[in-house]
Amino acid sequence: MDSFPEMDSFNLENASLNVSNNGATSLATPSSSTSSRYENQKRRDWNTFGQYLKNHRPPLSLSMCSGAHVLEFLRYLDQFGKTKVHTFNCPFYGLPNPPAPCPCPLRQAWGSLDALIGRLRAAFEENGGKPEANPFGTRAVRLYLREVRDLQSKARGISYEKKKRKRPLANQTPPLPVPPPPPPSAS
């Protein structure tokens, strides 16, 4: 993996905070107070990715960006992660709450990466990109996210189960009305 010394001069703390979704200040320009937290985060993430492309060697334009470059960006961000991901050889592999420290690496959490890709995918199209050319929606990126999720769930002993959807009421048959009880007999 390439090293990006220019990114070191660009406030690295922002790259970490952008992914952690905690609303911290970034290099982005201030926006109006009517923007939602999601919109502000999306703008900061987009600016961070744009900075990454500028600092890439050789510099990349957005039109030249592919799913492979997105994967490179996600791997680059791993160095700023705060989630302990145990290696297979670690005695705490598979334990959600290890009893002691270990030398396993810190990584970006799968949920943070998944949310980041969602925001960048939306920002790409909002900034003039065509949906069919969106590098954030490529098969390679989806497979990478699935691989990260599976690896982290096994390493940390946490299962990520898909939420079951509730069926809409329109598809269900309404329950039959219950007839009222007969009136008491007057005998």
pLDDT tens for the chain, residues 1 to 187: 444 433 333 333 333 333 334 333 333 444 445 689 999 999 999 999 999 999 988 888 888 899 999 999 999 998 898 888 888 888 888 887 888 888 888 889 999 999 999 999 999 999 988 899 999 999 999 999 999 998 888 877 665 565 667 766 655 665 666 777 777 776 5
Nearest to 96 by CA among 84, 104, 107, 88: 84
**What was the pLDDT predicted at 96?**
77
Please name the residues in contact with 50: beta carbons below 8 A apart, sequence gap of 6 or more: 62
Asked if residue 52 is part of any domain, the answer here is yes
Total domains present in the chain: 1
Nearest to 24 by CA among 52, 9, 44: 44
**What was the pLDDT predicted at 37?**
93
What are phi and psi for residue 120, nearest 5 degrees?
A: -70, -35
- 127: helix, coil or strand? coil
Question: Is pTM beyond 0.85 here?
Answer: no
DSSP 185: P
Asked if residue 182 is part of any domain, the answer here is no
**What was the pLDDT predicted at 141?**
95
CA 157 to chain CA centroid, nearest Å: 19
Is the CA virtual torsion 141, 147, 151, 157 positive or negative? Answer: positive
**What was the pLDDT predicted at 52?**
92
Asked if residue 64 is part of any domain, the answer here is yes
Question: What is the domain range of residue 67?
Answer: 35-154
Rounded to whole angstroms, what are the CA distances from 187 to 76, 84, 184? 87, 78, 9
Domain holding 62: CATH number?
1.10.150
**What was the pLDDT predicted at 153?**
84
Nearest to 108 by CA among 1, 14, 3, 20: 20
Asked if residue 164 is part of any domain, the answer here is no
**What was the pLDDT predicted at 170?**
59
